[in-house]
Structure 1
Amino acid sequence: MVSIHSFAVACGALLLSVVSGQDTPVRIMALGDSITGSPGCWRALLWRNLQTAGITNTKFVGSLPGQGCGFEYDGANEGHGGILATGIVEREELPGWLASSTPDVVMMHLGTNDVWSNESPTELLDAFGTMVDWMRESNDGMKILVAQIIPMNPPNCVECGDRVVAFNEAIPAWAASKNSTGSPITVVDCWTGFDTATDTGDGVHPNNAGNEKLANCWYEPLRSAIQG
């Protein structure tokens, strides 16, 4: 027989769980290229930072598994090496990923390969717009976090740095034009304070220091999306 005290404790714990939202995990898709997925250890650091802060009602989702980052973490993602945003749209890949993973939040660090391929900001943001439409078709309450991407300075693309600046400068106006109350778009500044000389190993992909900076740039926007 269950005592009145035990029953009261159990009911209190259940009520606290419901009130805090800890009973239903928020499903989060990290969408991007090799910066996100190969191995993308900033995601591991971000997950650990959330856990340390007591934000445990999360489930990272995607068709790709987490890779080794020195500790166990929830690492599913859609970070596909070499992928272009324009290519995702041309091949209509995102609807299938969304249907399989059913995210509540999508966080995008995407466009590096498009910039490298000299896609214009207009072409790239047109692709982003199509992807946002697909996200909202999947979930009309989708919370969408879009990065102003980290700088790049590869030795074989002297113009890439300026192209990143032009792309990042165009993102806020685009986001405002696509924003909605039910499915907000948040612009996440991952560019400011990131130095390709000290935070990458090759002018493009983050090293350990860069991973720390990427985890930090995502933390507050993602925390707000989870708890908001």
Structure 2
Amino acid sequence: MIGENGGMRSPSRFLCVGDSMTIGRAGDHTWRYRMWQHLCATLPSGTYDIVGPRDELYDSPDPAAYADPAFPAAARRHLAGWGEGWLHMAPVIRETVAATRADVLLVSLGLIDLGFYTDSDQTAANARRFLTEARAANPHVRAVILPVIPNVRAATDAPFAAEVDRFNELLAKLVADLDAPSSPLLLASHPPSYDIHQDTYDGTHPNASGEHKLAAAFADALHQAWELGGPYNRTNRPNRPN
């Protein structure tokens, strides 16, 4: 790739950061897999890498445990953990970005924080710390951040639902406040048709249709804001090894 000053531009290095909705468990494809398919279909070979210190599912280190065991090792990399949130990722993101040389973060965090660890203000503070630490490792890092999608608990727990709504408001303000030309931030759109009764298998974790909708939220933000890749098409299939 040719950079703005005529030199060679390094490939974009994508790091998926998330909780149980991102890491997945045995039998899942994961939205990471759907994103890999999208990148394969819309970006030239050699212009991107998927990076991260982990590659396993929540309950299995065996690559055959993915719904598609052909999901290649180089594309399975991530920084996600079951039961992990902004609270857990903020202390490790600097070293992870430094070690992997990640420059595009795709982040889906917050539900576990609000559900078990921190209120909306504390969660927003941890999100700020996360972004500050990521920039300490790479001052030009870019990030696409997904708002928290209310899960089944929010349908019956009004205080929890209010905390989710308030955090999403704080997150939007945080992204607007910290966005900079040298290190742009995007708040992805809540998938408009996402339905926890149709797109999850338990009211929280995405099934196949939910995986596509989460991947589409990231892919469409990348395309619309930065002309990176193309519009998401759930029928995309990799047409080459990566």
Question: Which TM-score band (shorter chain)?
Answer: 0.7 to 0.9
Please report how far the alpha carbon of residue 81 of structure 1 lies from its aligned counterpart in structure 2 after TM superposition: 1.0
Question: 2:49 corresponds to which residue?
Answer: 59
* Contact map agreement 1:33 1:80 (CA 8 A) in 2: yes
* Contact map agreement 1:26 1:226 (CA 8 A) in 2: no
* Residue 216 to residue 133, structure 1, CA distance change in 2 (3 Å): same
Structure 1 counterpart SS, 2:181: coil
Question: 1:205 corresponds to which residue?
Answer: 205
* Residue 203 to residue 161, structure 1, CA distance change in 2 (3 Å): farther
Structure 2 counterpart SS, 1:220: helix
Letter in 2 for 1:37: I
* Residue 94 to residue 173, structure 1, CA distance change in 2 (3 Å): same
Correspondent of 1:48 among 37, 45, 67 = 37
Matched ranges for 1:147-226 at <5 A:
147-154=146-153, 158-159=157-158, 160-223=160-223, 224-225=225-226
Q: What CA distance in whole angstroms lies between the structure 2 residues aligned with 1:34 and 1:144?
A: 19
Structure 1 residue 69 corresponds to structure 2 residue 83 = no
Matched ranges for 1:95-174 at <5 A:
95-117=94-116, 119-154=118-153, 158-159=157-158, 160-174=160-174
Root-mean-square deviation (CA), in Å? 2.7
Q: Relative to structure 2, which stretch is displaced further, 187-196 or 143-152?
A: 187-196
Structure 1 counterpart SS, 2:15: strand
Q: What CA distance in whole angstroms lies between the structure 2 residues aligned with 1:118 and 1:79?
A: 17
Please report how far the alpha carbon of residue 208 of structure 1 lies from its aligned counterpart in structure 2 after TM superposition: 0.8
Aligned residues: 210
* Contact map agreement 2:188 2:217 (CA 8 A) in 1: yes
* Contact map agreement 2:145 2:188 (CA 8 A) in 1: yes
Question: 1:78 corresponds to which residue?
Answer: 79
Letter in 2 for 1:163: E
* Contact map agreement 2:22 2:80 (CA 8 A) in 1: yes
Please report how far the alpha carbon of residue 153 of structure 1 lies from its aligned counterpart in structure 2 after TM superposition: 0.9
Please report how far the alpha carbon of residue 225 of structure 1 lies from its aligned counterpart in structure 2 after TM superposition: 4.6
Please report how far the alpha carbon of residue 64 of structure 1 lies from its aligned counterpart in structure 2 after TM superposition: 0.9
Normalized per residue, which structure has more helix?
1
Q: What CA distance in whole angstroms lies between the structure 2 residues aligned with 1:82 and 1:75?
A: 19
* Contact map agreement 1:153 1:161 (CA 8 A) in 2: no
Please report how far the alpha carbon of residue 161 of structure 1 lies from its aligned counterpart in structure 2 after TM superposition: 3.6
* Residue 53 to residue 139, structure 1, CA distance change in 2 (3 Å): same
Letter in 1 for 2:183: S
* Residue 136 to residue 210, structure 1, CA distance change in 2 (3 Å): same
Question: 2:24 corresponds to which residue?
Answer: 38
Percent identity over the alignment is 21
Structure 2 length as normaliser, TM-score?
0.77
Q: What CA distance in whole angstroms lies between the structure 1 residues aligned with 2:106 and 2:213?
A: 16
CA-to-aligned-CA distance 1:132-154 (integer Å, 9 cap, x gap): 11111111111011111222114
Question: 1:3 corresponds to which residue?
Answer: none
Letter in 2 for 1:86: L
* Contact map agreement 2:95 2:137 (CA 8 A) in 1: no
Q: What CA distance in whole angstroms lies between the structure 2 residues aligned with 1:104 and 1:19?
A: 15
**Which runs of 5 or more structure 1 residues have no equivalent in the other structure?**
1-16
* Contact map agreement 1:34 1:81 (CA 8 A) in 2: yes
* Contact map agreement 1:28 1:60 (CA 8 A) in 2: yes
* Contact map agreement 2:98 2:138 (CA 8 A) in 1: no
Question: 2:236 corresponds to which residue?
Answer: none
Letter in 1 for 2:16: A
Q: What CA distance in whole angstroms lies between the structure 2 residues aligned with 1:195 and 1:156?
A: 12
Please report how far the alpha carbon of residue 209 of structure 1 lies from its aligned counterpart in structure 2 after TM superposition: 1.0
* Residue 153 to residue 163, structure 1, CA distance change in 2 (3 Å): farther
Structure 1 length as normaliser, TM-score?
0.81
Largest Rg, 1 or 2:
1
